[in-house]
Each structure stands twice: as C-alpha cells, then as structure tokens.
Amino acid sequence: MCGLRHEIGAAILIVILMAFCVAPNPMVEYSSSQGFRGTVILDYSHGQDFDTGYPNVDHHLEGNLSAMGYDVIWARGGINSSILEGCTALIMGPIFGYDVPILQYETEAIAAWFSTGNKFLWVGNHGDFEDTLTGPHETGNMSLILNAVGSHVYAENGELWDEYSNCGEGYRVVANITCSDPFLQPIVVGVERVLTHGGTILYGSDSETPGMYTNPVTLEETSIENVYPLLWSSQGSYLLDYQDPEMLAHEDFTIGSFVVCTLELYAGVSGTGVLIVSGASPYGNNRPMFFDCYREYPLDGHLFVMQGIDYGIELAKSLTVPISTPSTSTTSNTNGYDGGNIIPMILGVAAVPIAVMLVLYAYWRRYD
C-alpha cells in the first residue's frame, strides 16, 4: 500500500506541474534571430543629418539593424504613403529650425500608416533652446506627429539639465534610472547610462482623446493607462524654460527625477500600435542617444536604442486589441491579454487537473 501511496503522490505532483505549465504566458518572446524581420525607416528629410563631426554613429546604427535582419531606409525626400508602404517601423528624430518643418501631408501619411495596425513608431525630441547653427528647436513639429497618431505623451517646451549625472557639462544629461516592469526588461537590460544631450522631458495627456494641449499632466506623478516610462533622469536634474511657449505640465527650475522616454502600448486608431517617445533623438542630432561613449564617458545608449527598436517592433507584431480595458498597474501584459484576465485563465486551465487530484486523494483515503 505504501508503494501505491507513492505512485498516487507522484501522479498528483505531475498533475499540479502540468496545470501551471499549460497556463498562458502573456509575455512576448524576444528574438534577435537572423533573416528578414521587417523594414525600418529613419527620417533624414528634416535636418536630422546635418554634419556633426560624428558621421559614423548613424552608420553603426544602420549596420546593427541590418545585422539583426532589418532592411534600413533613410528617408531624404519627405515622409509619404509611398515610402511608408510595407514598412514595419518609422523612427523620427527631432526637426531643427523653421526651414524644414513637418508638413500636413506628412503627418497625414504617418497617421494613415500607423492606423493600419501592428506598427512601431519612435518620435524623438529636443530641448527648446536656440542653437547658433540650426536655429530654434521646435518641439511643436514633433507634437504634430504625435497628435496625428493619438499619442498620450508629448515633449515639454523646456530643457533638462543635470550638474551631476552628465558628460562633462550640465546640458549633456545622462539619464541613469530605468524601468522595473518585467516585460520591458528586454529594452533596458544592460542599460545604466543614456545620453540625452540638450534634451527635454515628457508630459502626458490624460484623456481618452489625447492631444498636446489636452489635460497635460506630469508623468512623474500621474499614471496613464498603457503608458510606461522607460527612462528617467537622476534625482539631481532640473528644468529650464528658454523660450515661448511655456511648459505645459511642469514648472521652470523644478528639481527632481524626470521621465525622458516612454513606451505606449495599444496605441493608435487600430489599438495595436507601439509608440516610443523620447526627449532626445535616438539618431542624427548633434549628439544622439545611440552613443556608447562621449568625451571619454562610457554610455549604454547603443543598447537602449537597438533594444528599444527591436523589442518595440516585436511587441507591435504581436499585439491584438484587448478584449477589455487593460489594468493601469505598473506591469503590463503584451500579447493581447488583459492583465485582469490572467488569474481567471490560470484557474480555468487548472480546474480539471485539480478535480482529478481531489478524486485521487479520495481514492487514497478510502484504502488507507
């Protein structure tokens, strides 16, 4: 009889393990396998490619993306429906000066492309100061793009400074706090220091119909559904407001840790887009986030940008419209499951093996 007990006990253990093994996994599998994985467009149409003395930086970005299986296209003649047709991702660096603004037909083309669903968009920004070489930095240009796709995140009309976490000067801010959300770790793994040179911070539009002037809130104090901060500045950073218009959600000279990059899930009209917004440019610019070293200061920007693009695309490919509104918790699920449904699903899957376990236990007690 002891042998029978051991056999029944082993059977119960196996059934319990099976119950959890077959439970659905809400995480998207991260992959960097070879083979064609999509087309990535990076915009050079609006001054992002001006000569900075670091011409190899964008070449390295292109080379890395190509090695990971992406076709890379540098858009030089504007953004339109033709160049966007069939592409998987669009990366937009900040627009410099008044000479090459974003045009209405471009924002309409981006919005139409993003609305088709399962697309990835990264919109970079810059501080609002006026550069002697390129003129005023216009966050308004990028806000037009973000408005068009229904973003809940926008760039503040200011500049971020940090006298402690930087690359030799306060305006060469090094963001050094990353998110702890488990499903977003593929973006921030190995990332501790990212350059946001002359950059700004982000604010949220806490509304079901978001816009750059619609219910602006700080992302440091307000949680917006499906919006996840990826990167923060240090606790010693502060804000400066150089020129009009004024900042919408923050105050001039505020000190603290600020959100400088976010990821939004279920974005766009389709509800299946993925959107990253950053207060600095991932490429181009005079000092992009992609730097792995600047003025002998080691950085992890190359990892952050590459992993952000790669994982963002993988998330966008996998998203389906959620059956019900996802929870506003700090941890998100990323392949169409509502976070609130995971526990009932697990219990449902486990119900049958639990019933079998109870029958076996009753049988065991009968012959004890």
Q: Furthest-apart CA pair in the chain: how many Å?
A: 90
Q: How confident is the model at residue 317 (pLDDT cuts 50, 70, 90)?
A: very high
Give residue 242's pLDDT: 76
Mean pLDDT of 335-362: 39
Concatenate the DSSP letters of all residues of 45-83 into one string: TTSTT---S-THHHHHHHHHHHHTTEEEEEE-S---HHH
Q: Is the pLDDT of residue 289 over 70?
A: yes
- Higher-pLDDT residue of 336 and 212 is 212
Interval 153-172 mean pLDDT: 96
If pLDDT is split at 50, 70 and 90, which confidence band does 138 have?
A: low
Mean pLDDT of 87-107: 88
DSSP symbols for 164-183: SSBSSSTTEEEE-EE---GG
pLDDT, greater one: 173 or 132: 173
Say if residue 78's pLDDT is above 90: yes
Most confident of 41-50, 184-193, 287-296: 184-193
Q: Which residue has the higher pLDDT, 359 or 185?
A: 185
* pLDDT tens profile 18-54: 333 333 223 344 344 568 999 999 999 988 876 555 6
SS3 186: helix
Radius of gyration of the chain (CA): 24
| pLDDT of residue 339 exceeding 50 | no
Residue 291 has pLDDT above 60, yes or no: yes
Domains annotated on the chain, with CATH:
38-318 (3.40.50)
Please compute the mean of the pLDDT values over residues 256-273 and round it to a whole number. Answer: 97
- On whether the CB atoms of residues 230 and 261 are closer than 8 A, the answer is yes
Average of pLDDT values for 100-115? 95
